[in-house]
């Protein structure tokens, strides 16, 4: 019996196999959105156990473990690392059909050479084998990145961050991978968060500005964006739930900011007015700076109020929110476009029902001088699986140019997550290969092969200006 993860995994047709092995597999990775720690990369962190490098910070796995009845002590608590690993092994056995089942075994094979299925029976031997590998020099943070054929990656960084680790890495000629900051003014857009006022005060300290009005905040953010640009930043990123960009005035936004600074709760209308005006200002700033604007929509965060005090954010208690309004998105883009201040933009919606709608909105704001200026982003989070990837790529192909798609990202905190790029590439080649076999697209490898290469790496490198 051949192993579960084999060279032709997910490649059901001869065309798919030819596309993957001939055009996709060797392409480098540009991970333009991840949550890896720049400090761990700078320090070339080492990992004592597979639990540390594999389960730490991975809320995808944590959710499944909770679903399998694993106590929180063995998930986010201070339980024994080996017991945590065994708990994950017992969960994996039950996770057939979930993308994590495939990712788990791809990561074990790609990095550790383990071809056996992870289970409570095989867990002890796999634990020993993986930990032995982690003690070798090539299994440090930098080593794992290089093993994954990563050419560049972008972390997600607060405007108040010093970026000292990025600066040190840029000066370090021994590490061949570009580690670039991404400007993420997340807290600025969310005055409802309990840390908002403290964050504004911190931003004021970093910029040397007294921030008492919305204009002050915008000036401080512009100062920090310039700081980020000097350190190689190419991308800005922000996440919003489902805002309404069709209502609210500048005056209402200014009043809402003053109210938030006073510690008063904002109404939904005040929140929308504030977010709209700030995002319009940021969009204009990004166009001026040459940043790509990434927008993530549709997350309901920290929904479990009992667990939040115990685990904090990003612990697996978020979920898919309601869809994004097409009218709202069109209003935002139109407001920026009519003054020629709309930057290149990538939209990610956590709600897969938005794919067709958003693809059509983006098509209304494409620009003849910038190919595929408005991008439908890769399937994100809960849609990050074969069905979600195929659905998204079909929506893009039906409404725009699949050939211009900028491809996959990890959105991960784990140094082992680059197997997700391979998973995506196999799904991409499986889809195109099936179309070729069915006669829906030409069986022309001189046409389709370069398209695959571009989606895997070339489009993203060109779109973000990586190689300028």
* 185 vs 351: CA distance, rounded Å: 22
pLDDT digits (tens, 9 = 90+) for 166-223: 999 999 989 999 999 999 999 999 999 989 999 999 999 999 999 999 999 999 999 9
The whole model's pTM is what?
Answer: 0.96
Nearest to 158 by CA among 137, 136, 189: 189
Residue 275 parent element (H or E): helix 268-289
Q: Which residue has the higher pLDDT, 323 or 148?
A: 148
Strand-pairing partners, residue 346, are: 294, 375
Q: Is 378 helix (H, G, I), strand (E, B) or coil?
A: coil
Compute the residue count for the chain.
Answer: 468
Question: What is the rounded average pLDDT of the residues 282-302?
Answer: 95
Structural domains for the chain: 14-45+149-463 (3.20.20.140), 46-139 (1.10.2020.10)
> pLDDT category, 361, cuts 50, 70, 90?
very high
Q: CB under 8 Å to 462, separation ≥6 — which residues?
A: none
Strand-pairing partners, residue 319, are: 300
pLDDT digits (tens, 9 = 90+) for 417-459: 999 999 999 999 999 999 999 999 999 999 999 999 999 999 9
Q: DSSP string covering 233-245, please?
A: --EEEEEESS--T
Indicate the pairing of strand 345-349 with strand 292-297: parallel
CA-CA-CA-CA torsion sign (156, 161, 162, 165): negative
Nearest to 92 by CA among 137, 43, 58: 58
Q: DSSP string covering 156-204, please?
A: -B-TT---HHHHHHHH-TT--SEEE--B--TGGG-TTSTTHHHHHHHHH
* 420 vs 386: CA distance, rounded Å: 11
CA-CA-CA-CA torsion sign (43, 48, 52, 54): positive
pLDDT digits (tens, 9 = 90+) for 166-178: 999 999 989 999 9
Nearest to 409 by CA among 429, 390, 424: 424
* 161 vs 452: CA distance, rounded Å: 37
> pLDDT category, 231, cuts 50, 70, 90?
very high
Q: CB under 8 Å to 4, separation ≥6 — which residues?
A: 105, 115, 117
pLDDT digits (tens, 9 = 90+) for 18-50: 999 999 999 999 999 999 999 999 999 999 999
Question: What is the rounded average pLDDT of the residues 378-405?
Answer: 95
pLDDT digits (tens, 9 = 90+) for 241-277: 878 898 889 999 999 999 999 999 999 999 999 999 9
**CA atoms in the 13 A half-sphere facing the CB of 84:** 22
Question: What is the rounded average pLDDT of the residues 55-82?
Answer: 96
pLDDT digits (tens, 9 = 90+) for 102-131: 999 999 999 999 999 999 999 999 999 999
pLDDT digits (tens, 9 = 90+) for 304-321: 999 998 999 889 999 999
DSSP letter (8 states) at residue 370: B
Q: CB under 8 Å to 154, separation ≥6 — which residues?
A: 31, 32, 33, 34, 180, 181, 182, 234, 235
Q: Report helix, strand and coil shares of the chain as percent, to nearest 5.
A: 50, 10, 40
Q: Are 433 and 15 in contact (CB under 8 A)?
A: yes
Q: Are 112 and 141 in contact (CB under 8 A)?
A: no
* 173 vs 162: CA distance, rounded Å: 21
Average pLDDT, the chain: 95
Q: Give me the pLDDT at residue 243, please.
A: 81
Q: Are 58 and 35 in contact (CB under 8 A)?
A: no
Q: Give me the pLDDT at residue 468, please.
A: 64
Q: Are 347 and 376 in contact (CB under 8 A)?
A: yes
């Amino acid at each position: 019996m051949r192993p579960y993860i084999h060279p032709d995994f997910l490649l059901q047709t001869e065309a798919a196999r030819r596309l993957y092995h001939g055009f996709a597999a060797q392409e480098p990775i540009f991970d333009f959105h991840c949550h890896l720690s720049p400090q761990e990369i700078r320090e070339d962190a080492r990992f004592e156990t597979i639990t540390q490098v594999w389960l730490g910070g991975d809320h995808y796995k944590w959710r499944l473990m909770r679903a399998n009845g694993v106590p929180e002590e063995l998930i986010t608590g201070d339980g024994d690392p080996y017991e945590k690993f065994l708990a994950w092994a017992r969960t994996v056995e039950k996770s057939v059909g979930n993308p994590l089942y495939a990712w788990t075994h791809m990561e074990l094979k790609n990095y550790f050479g383990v071809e056996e299925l992870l289970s409570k029976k095989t867990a002890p031997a796999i634990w020993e084998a993986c930990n032995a590998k982690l003690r070798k020099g090539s299994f440090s943070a930098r080593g794992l990145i290089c093993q994954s054929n990563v050419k560049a990656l972008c972390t997600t960084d607060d405007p108040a961050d010093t970026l000292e680790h990025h600066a040190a890495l840029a000066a370090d000629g021994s590490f061949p991978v570009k580690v670039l900051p991404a400007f993420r003014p997340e807290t600025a857009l969310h005055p409802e968060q309990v840390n908002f006022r403290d964050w504004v005060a911190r931003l004021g300290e970093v910029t040397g500005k007294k921030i008492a009005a919305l204009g002050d905040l915008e000036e401080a953010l512009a100062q920090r964006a310039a700081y980020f640009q000097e350190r190689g930043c190419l991308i800005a990123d922000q996440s919003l739930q489902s805002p309404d960009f069709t209502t609210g005035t500048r005056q209402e936004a200014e009043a809402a900011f003053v109210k938030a600074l006073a510690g008063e709760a904002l109404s939904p209308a005040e929140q929308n007015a504030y977010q709209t005006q700030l995002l319009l200002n940021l969009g204009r700033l990004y166009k001026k700076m040459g940043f790509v604007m990434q927008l993530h929509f549709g997350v309901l965060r920290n929904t479990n109020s009992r667990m939040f005090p115990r685990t904090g954010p990003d612990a697996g208690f978020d979920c898919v929110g309601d869809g994004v309004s097409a009218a709202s998105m069109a209003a935002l883009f139109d407001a920026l476009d009519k003054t020629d201040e709309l930057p290149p933009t990538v939209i990610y919606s956590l709600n897969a029902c938005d794919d067709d709608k958003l693809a059509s909105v983006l098509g209304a704001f494409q620009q003849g001088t910038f190919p595929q200026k408005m991008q439908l982003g890769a399937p994100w989070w809960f849609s990050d699986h074969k069905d979600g990837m195929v659905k998204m790529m079909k929506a893009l192909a039906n409404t725009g140019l699949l050939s211009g798609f900028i491809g996959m990202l990890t959105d991960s905190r784990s140094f082992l997550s680059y197997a997700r790029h391979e998973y995506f590439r196999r799904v991409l080649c499986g889809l195109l290969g099936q179309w070729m076999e069915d006669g829906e697209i030409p069986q022309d490898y001189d046409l389709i092969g370069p398209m695959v290469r571009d989606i895997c790496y070339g489009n993203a490198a060109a779109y973000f200006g990586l190689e300028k």
